[in-house]
A and B are shown apart, each in its own frame.
Chain A
Amino acid sequence: AQSVTQPDIHITVSEGASLELRCNYSYGATPYLFWYVQSPGQGLQLLLKYFSGDTLVQGIKGFEAEFKRSQSSFNLRKPSVHWSDAAEYFCAVGLHGSGNTGKLIFGQGTTLQVKP
């Protein structure tokens, strides 16, 4: 069955430090991949997406992610974290093909705390 794993439930980094949030997926076909961010009590905002092509994708707010097929991973990175980046981050896989019409499977989320 398709699944998305975010191994880190909670991460704390210092402001200005670099960040990497991990995402691994299990899916038999070429995945469509997404990262979303959620502030407390709010909806989800799309940070970036990968459909095909260049495996390093740039998103909003200075985030980037790299698709590594051999590792079934799509890790999110940011070179220098700002206090406003504190939020919950979700990785998602888009299912395509017969019977999987546009559904997204979400990971459990990683909560990012930023220390001043």
Chain B
Amino acid sequence: DGGITQSPKYLFRKEGQNVTLSCEQNLNHDAMYWYRQDPGQGLRLIYYSQIVNDFQKGDIAEGYSVSREKKESFPLTVTSAQKNPTAFYLCASSISSVPIREQFFGPGTRLTVL
């Protein structure tokens, strides 16, 4: 089955630690996205990548980093510089970003900072 996988489903981190969230897609999509979801705030874009080896900051990129070395993979690192990292993180992909196409979402990773 084609789709987007995210791992782990739950992640616990101590303050001061960096953690990396995995996102893999086998849809052969060019574009991939990372969103952060907090209660009552909808989804906010962290980073996006239109094509392999390229990515751009979204609206709330501070304290996060990404890489896009392979078409199917777009890992997100939450660094210790992120002041309030506890949230639900969603990865998405679309066949292209230009022109706009619908985005397909993974099941999410819930990150909790202890």
Contacts and interface: CB of A to CB of B under 8 A. Distances in A.
Interface string B1-23: 00010100000000000000000
B85 interface: no
Most B Cβ at <10 Å: residue of A32, A43, A101, A103: A43
A58 B91 CA distance: 26
B43 A90 contact: yes
B107 interface: yes
Given A43-B90, A108-B42, A102 B108 contact: no
A48 B51 CA distance: 25
A36 B102 CA distance: 10
Contact of B98 (A43, A46, A90, A102): A102
Nearest to A45: B105
Given A43-B90, A108-B42, A102 B101 contact: yes
A9 B6 CA distance: 28
Interface string A16-47: 00000000000000001010100001111110
* Centre residue among A49, A51, A94 by max chain B CB count within 10 A: A94
A97 B91 CA distance: 23
Contacts of B58: 103
Interface string A83-115: 000000010001110000111101111000000
B55 to A, nearest CB: 11
Given A96-B99, A102-B50, A43 B40 contact: no
A106 to B, nearest CB: 4
A100 to B, nearest CB: 9
B86 to A, nearest CB: 15
Interface of A: 4, 9, 32, 34, 36, 41-46, 49, 51, 90, 94-96, 101-104, 106-109
Nearest first, the 6 closest Cβ-Cβ pairs linking A and B are A102-B97, A43-B105, A94-B100, A106-B42, A44-B105, A106-B43
11 contacts: A36-B105, A42-B107, A43-B106, A43-B108, A45-B105, A90-B42, A101-B50, A101-B97, A102-B96, A103-B58, A106-B42
